[in-house]
């Protein structure tokens, strides 16, 4: 049986978290790429400017698992990077527990961490070596980190006997679990999960999904999740936003979205979440946006 996860967050962050209702507030945020720039030479034709995120607003409550669904290129990853302080918004504001991601970047970075679809690890090093390296980067005491690493990996279904195995000899699923463990070493109160189970085998996917639930229940973490898996989003998320062309086109609990769809179409049965997605976007999750057809990169 996996061990119960126990993480200790800094006291000042814990106190602020307990006193704040909203974990994240995104207000009228936009981000575009391309177009004229200082690097465009006089004889070059400037590229087309494309809105990746277009006037997006939403709030995520403390302790909530909030999902963002969208086809490839819909702006999901750009939105994650804006919240994670990796990109600056062109317009609008993002706050994490009341702290502005631009004006109070260092404070926000202490509160959150991010897991992307690609587990970027040093493949020749072991899981333990990768995670100790990350701990040093984040100024986490190595002695405490070693204890936390074993605990987190066991909670994710990786036994202590495998923590010294080179990452290159691990499956894609195990590598992604190591990536998640790395994000948790800083005891984040907000976890940004950008398609964390894409490409995983069914068992690894279930392990990660179980861990996400446990993390919220045991650690009081707030989680923003993007996913390509409708069933995953339906099962995990308290609320969902569907992103299309960089804009939120609908938002609600999974059940609300399905009930509203059934009412609009006068159905006598519960529809699938994919039916809702198709209605609002006109495409499946596997289809990419075409920027020349109103989409975004």
Range with the largest mean pLDDT of 10-24, 61-75, 196-210 = 61-75
Q: What is the tens place of the pLDDT at every residue in 170-186?
A: 888 888 888 888 888 87
Domain range summary for the chain, segments of one domain joined by +: 23-30+50-286
Q: In whole numbers, what is the pLDDT of the chain averaged over residues? A: 84
Q: What is the tens place of the pLDDT at every residue in 230-240?
A: 899 999 999 99
Pairing outcome for strands 50-61 and 239-244: unpaired
Closest C-alpha among 223, 198, 180, 173 to residue 117: 198
Pairwise pLDDT comparison (80 vs 211), residue with the higher score? 80
CATH class of 23-30+50-286: alpha beta
Pairwise pLDDT comparison (163 vs 117), residue with the higher score? 163
Residue 249's pLDDT band, with cuts at 50, 70 and 90, is: very high
Radius of gyration of the chain (CA): 20
Tokens 């701990």, located at residue: 135
Distance CA 252, CA 269 (A): 19
Pairwise pLDDT comparison (130 vs 1), residue with the higher score? 130
Distance CA 274, CA 240 (A): 12
Element (H, E) at 173: helix 172-184
Element (H, E) at 183: helix 172-184
Is there a contact between 59 and 24 (Cβ–Cβ < 8 Å)?
yes
pLDDT of residue 78: 94
Pairwise pLDDT comparison (13 vs 85), residue with the higher score? 85
pLDDT of residue 179: 87
Is there a contact between 207 and 157 (Cβ–Cβ < 8 Å)?
yes
Please say if the pLDDT value at position 123 is more than 90: no
pLDDT of residue 76: 92
DSSP code string of 78-133 = HHHHHHTTSS--SEEEEEETTEETTTTHHHHHHHEEEE-SS----TTSBHHHHHHH
Q: What is the tens place of the pLDDT at every residue in 5-43?
A: 555 555 555 555 555 689 999 999 999 998 765 555 666
Q: What's the Cα-to-Cα distance from 170 to each of 35, 64, 173, 175, rounded to whole Å?
A: 42, 32, 8, 6
Please say if the pLDDT value at position 257 is more than 50: yes
- Mean pLDDT is lowest, of 25-29, 52-56, 114-118, for 114-118
Closest C-alpha among 52, 175, 189 to residue 123: 175
Structure pTM? Answer: 0.82
């Amino acid at each position: 049986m996996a061990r119960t996860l126990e993480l200790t967050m800094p006291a000042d962050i814990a106190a602020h978290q307990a006193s704040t209702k909203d974990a994240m507030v995104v207000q009228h945020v936009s981000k575009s790429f391309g177009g004229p720039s200082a690097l465009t030479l006089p004889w070059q034709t400037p590229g087309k400017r494309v809105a990746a995120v277009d006037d997006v607003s939403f709030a995520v409550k403390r302790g909530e698992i909030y999902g963002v669904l969208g086809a490839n290129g819909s702006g999901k990853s750009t939105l994650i990077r804006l919240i994670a302080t990796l990109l600056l918004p062109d317009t609008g504001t993002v706050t994490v527990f009341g702290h502005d991601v631009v004006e109070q970047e260092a404070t926000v970075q202490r509160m959150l961490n991010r897991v992307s679809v690609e587990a970027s690890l040093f493949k020749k090093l072991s899981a333990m070596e990768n995670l100790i390296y990350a701990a040093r980067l984040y100024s986490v005491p190595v002695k405490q980190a070693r204890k936390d690493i074993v605990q987190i990996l066991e909670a994710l279904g990786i036994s202590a006997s495998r923590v010294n195995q080179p990452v290159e000899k691990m499956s894609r699923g195990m590598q992604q679990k190591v990536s998640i463990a790395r994000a948790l070493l800083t005891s984040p109160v907000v976890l940004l999960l950008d398609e964390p189970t894409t490409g995983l085998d069914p068992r690894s996917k279930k392990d990660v999904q179980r861990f996400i639930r446990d993390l919220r229940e045991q650690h009081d973490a707030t989680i923003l999740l993007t996913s390509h898996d409708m069933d995953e989003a339906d099962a995990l998320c308290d609320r969902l936003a569907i992103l299309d062309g960089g804009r939120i086109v609908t938002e609600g609990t999974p059940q609300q979205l399905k009930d509203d769809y059934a009412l609009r179409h006068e159905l006598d049965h519960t529809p699938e979440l994919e039916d809702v997605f198709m209605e609002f976007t006109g495409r499946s999750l596997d289809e990419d946006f075409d920027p020349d057809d109103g989409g975004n990169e």
